[in-house]
C-alpha cells in the first residue's frame, strides 16, 4: 500500500510534524488572542480545546493516514473502496491551496523584514519616520505592489527546492536542522525578556486569568486557534502520518507534537508580555500582523543592538513559517504523485506553478487590488476566512462523520495499538471524542461563525 517512503528516524518524524504545527499561528495569533481574551483565561480554555478536540482529531488523522499510506483523497478510497467518502479529501486539497496562497505572502513579509533587519534599513528609518514609524513602514511594505511579490516568490522557490529533495532528504533533513534552531532562538528570547524590568508585570498579566473578558466568541476563537495551530482538518497530518513507520506510537507522538506546539505558544507569551510591559506598549492592540511587524520592531528599537535581535526574531519567524508551508504543499504533491503516478519532480513543479500567479494576486489584494472586496473582506481576507473558518472545521467534521458511518471496524484501535502490539487504554475515549464530542463542537463553531458573519 502507498509509496513505501517513511521518515528515517523518530526524531525526524517528530521534528517534521512539530515543524508543520509550529508556525505563524503560534507566534502571532496566540499572543494576540491571549491579550484580547483575558490572559491565562484564554490559555486555560485553549488547553482544554487542544485536549478535548485537538488531540483526538489529530489521532483520527494519524490513524487514517498511516493505515492507508497515501494522500487524503486516496486514503479514503483505499479504506472504503466504491464509496464516495474520498470526496472529503477534496476539501483538504482545496484548503491546502487556499492557505498556501496567503501563507506564502505572509512568509514573504517575514523574509523581507529579515533582509531589512540584516541590512539595518528597518532601524535607520526610525529617525525619519513619524510618531509611529513601524506602523507606517508595515503599511508601506504590505501595500506596495512589487516588493512583497518578489519576496513571496523567493519563498515559493525555496519551498519547492526543499520539497524536491523528497521526504527524507528534503522535509526531514530541513526539519531536523530548523526545529532545534527554532527552540534555541525562542529560549534566547525568553531569557532576554525575563530579565527585563517589566518581566514581573508581564508575567502577571499573562498568568492571571481575567474571566470577565471571556465570552462565547473566546471559546470559538480558542477552538479555531487549536485547529489552525495543530494543522488539523486539512489532511496535513494524514499526509505526514503516511510516512510514519508501522511501529511509531501514535498516542505518544500526538502528545509530543501538541505539547511542543503548546510550549512554543506559551514561550511566545513569555517573550511578548514582559517586553510590552517594559516598554509601555500594553495599550496597543495586536490586530492581525501588527504584533510581529509593528510591536516587535518597536521593542527592538528600544533595546541595545536592535539589528541583531530583529535579525534573530525574523529568522525564527521565517523558520517557523517555512516548515509549515512545506507541510501544506506536501499534501498536494503527494496527491499528484499517488493519483497520477507522477514523479516527485513533476508533482512539485505542478503544485508550485499556479502559486506564482495566485500568491501575487493575494499579495496585491493588500495593494492595488484592495478595492475588490466582498462582505468587507479583501481577496486576502476572504481566502484566510474561507480556509481557516470554513474548510478546516468542515474537513474535520466530515472526518468525524466518516468515523461514525463508514470507517473500517477497529481502524482507530488497530492503529493506536499498532495492531495489538502495544496497549492503548485511551482508545475508547479517543473514539468517543472523535465521534460524539468533536462533531457537536464543530457544528457549534459553524453556527456561531455564521451568526458573527
Ligand atoms: N499550524 C501552522 C501554524 O500554526 C499552519 C499550518 C500548517 C496549517 N499546516 C496547516 C494550518 C494545515 C491549517 C492546516 O501556523
What is the structure's pLDDT at 1? 45
What are the contacts of 67-70 at 24+ separation with CB within 8 A? 67/408, 67/411, 67/414, 67/415, 68/1, 68/2, 68/242, 69/1, 69/2, 69/3, 69/242, 70/1, 70/2, 70/3, 70/242, 70/334, 70/338
79 Cα–ligand 1 center, Å: 25
- pLDDT, one tens digit per residue, over 218-270 is 888 898 889 889 999 999 999 999 999 999 999 999 999 999 999 999 999 99
Cell 483526538 identifies what position? 56
Mutate to test the pocket of ligand 1, among 18, 22, 23 (most ligand atoms within 8 A of CB): 23
- pLDDT, one tens digit per residue, over 336-352 is 999 999 999 999 999 99
Cell of 301: 528599537
Q: Whose CA is nearest to atom 9 of ligand 1?
A: 231
Q: In this structure, how many other beta carbons lie within 10 angstroms of the beta carbon of residue 423? A: 11
| Beta-carbon contacts of residue 14 (< 8 Å; ≥ 6 apart) | 253, 256, 257, 260
Eight-state DSSP code of residue 294: I
What is the structure's pLDDT at 286? 60
What is the structure's pLDDT at 169? 94
- pLDDT, one tens digit per residue, over 172-196 is 999 999 999 999 999 999 999 999 9
Q: Which of 51, 98, 25, 106 is nearest to 392 (CA)?
A: 98
What is the structure's pLDDT at 125? 60
| pTM, entire model | 0.93
DSSP string, 347-396: HHHHHHHHHHHHHHHHHHTTTTTTT-EETTEEHHHHHHHIIIIIIHHHHH
CATH number of 10-452: 1.10.4160
332 Cα–ligand 1 center, Å: 15
What is the structure's pLDDT at 231? 93
What is the structure's pLDDT at 217? 81
Ligand 1 contacts CB of residue 20 (under 6 A): yes
Ligand 1 contacts CB of residue 379 (under 6 A): no
Q: Which of 20, 2, 5 is nearest to 165 (CA)?
A: 5
Q: Quick one: what percent of the chain has pLDDT higher than 70?
A: 96
Q: Whose CA is nearest to atom 14 of ligand 1?
A: 231
- Residues of the chain short of pLDDT 50, as ranges, are 1-2, 127-129
25 Cα–ligand 1 center, Å: 7
- pLDDT, one tens digit per residue, over 363-400 is 887 877 777 777 777 777 777 888 888 888 899 999 99
Q: How far is CA 254 from the centre of its chain?
A: 16
Side-chain half-sphere exposure of 131, counting CA atoms within 13 A? 0
Cell of 364: 496585491
Q: Where are the domains of the chain?
A: 10-452
What is the structure's pLDDT at 3? 61
| Beta-carbon contacts of residue 173 (< 8 Å; ≥ 6 apart) | 12, 165
Amino acid at each position: 500500500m502507498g509509496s513505501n517512503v517513511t521518515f528515517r528516524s523518530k526524531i525526524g518524524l517528530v521534528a517534521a510534524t512539530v515543524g508543520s504545527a509550529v508556525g505563524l499561528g503560534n507566534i502571532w495569533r496566540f499572543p494576540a488572542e491571549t491579550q484580547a481574551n483575558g490572559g491565562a483565561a484564554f490559555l486555560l480554555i485553549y488547553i482544554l480545546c487542544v485536549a478535548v478536540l485537538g488531540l483526538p482529531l489529530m489521532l483520527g488523522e494519524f490513524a487514517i493516514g498511516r493505515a492507508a499510506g497515501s494522500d487524503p483523497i486516496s486514503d479514503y478510497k483505499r479504506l472504503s473502496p466504491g464509496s464516495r467518502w474520498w470526496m472529503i479529501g477534496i476539501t483538504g486539497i482545496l484548503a491546502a491551496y487556499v492557505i498556501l496562497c496567503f501563507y506564502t505572502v505572509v512568509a514573504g513579509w517575514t523574509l523581507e523584514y529579515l533582509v531589512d533587519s540584516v541590512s539595518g534599513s528597518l532601524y535607520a528609518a526610525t529617525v525619519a519616520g513619524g510618531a509611529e514609524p513601524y506602523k507606517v513602514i508595515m503599511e508601506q511594505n504590505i501595500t506596495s505592489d512589487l516588493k512583497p511579490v518578489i519576496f513571496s516568490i523567493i519563498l515559493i522557490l525555496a519551498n519547492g527546492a526543499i520539497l524536491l529533495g523528497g521526504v527524507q532528504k528534503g522535509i526531514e533533513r530541513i526539519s531536523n536542522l530548523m526545529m532545534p534552531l527554532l527552540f534555541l532562538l525562542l529560549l534566547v528570547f525568553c531569557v532576554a525578556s525575563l530579565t527585563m524590568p517589566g518581566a514581573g508585570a508581564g508575567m502577571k498579566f499573562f498568568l492571571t486569568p481575567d474571566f470577565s473578558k471571556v465570552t462565547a466568541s473566546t471559546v470559538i476563537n480558542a477552538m479555531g486557534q487549536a485547529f489552525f495551530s495543530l494543522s488539523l482538518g486539512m489532511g496535513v497530518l494524514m499526509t505526514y502520518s503516511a510516512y510514519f513507520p508501522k511501529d511509531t506510537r501514535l498516542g505518544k507522538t500526538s502528545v509530543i507534537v501538541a505539547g511542543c506546539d503548546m510550549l512554543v505558544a506559551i514561550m511566545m507569551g513569555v517573550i511578548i508580555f514582559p517586553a510590552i510591559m517594559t516598554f509601555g506598549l500594553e495599550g496597543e492592540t495586536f490586530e492581525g500582523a501588527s504584533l510581529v511587524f509593528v510591536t516587535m520592531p518597536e521593542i527592538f528599537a528600544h533595546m541595545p543592538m536592535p539589528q541583531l535581535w530583529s535579525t534573530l526574531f525574523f529568522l525564527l519567524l521565517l523558520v517557523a513559517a517555512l516548515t509549515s508551508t512545506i507541510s501544506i504543499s506536501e499534501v498536494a504533491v503527494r496527491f499528484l504523485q499517488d493519483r497520477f503516478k507522477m514523479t516527485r519532480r513533476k508533482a512539485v513543479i505542478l503544485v508550485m506553478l499556479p502559486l506564482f500567479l495566485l500568491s501575487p494576486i493575494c499579495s496585491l489584494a493588500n495593494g492595488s487590488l484592495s478595492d475588490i472586496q466582498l462582505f468587507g473582506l479583501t481577496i486576502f481576507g476572504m481566502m484566510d476566512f474561507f480556509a481557516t473558518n470554513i474548510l478546516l472545521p468542515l474537513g474535520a467534521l466530515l472526518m468525524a462523520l466518516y468515523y461514525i458511518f463508514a470507517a473500517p471496524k477497529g481502524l482507530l484501535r488497530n492503529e493506536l495499538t499498532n495492531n495489538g502490539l502495544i496497549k492503548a487504554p485511551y482508545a475508547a475515549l479517543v473514539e468517543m471524542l472523535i465521534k460524539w464530542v468533536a462533531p457537536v463542537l464543530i457544528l457549534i463553531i459553524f453556527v456561531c461563525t455564521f451568526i458573527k458573519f
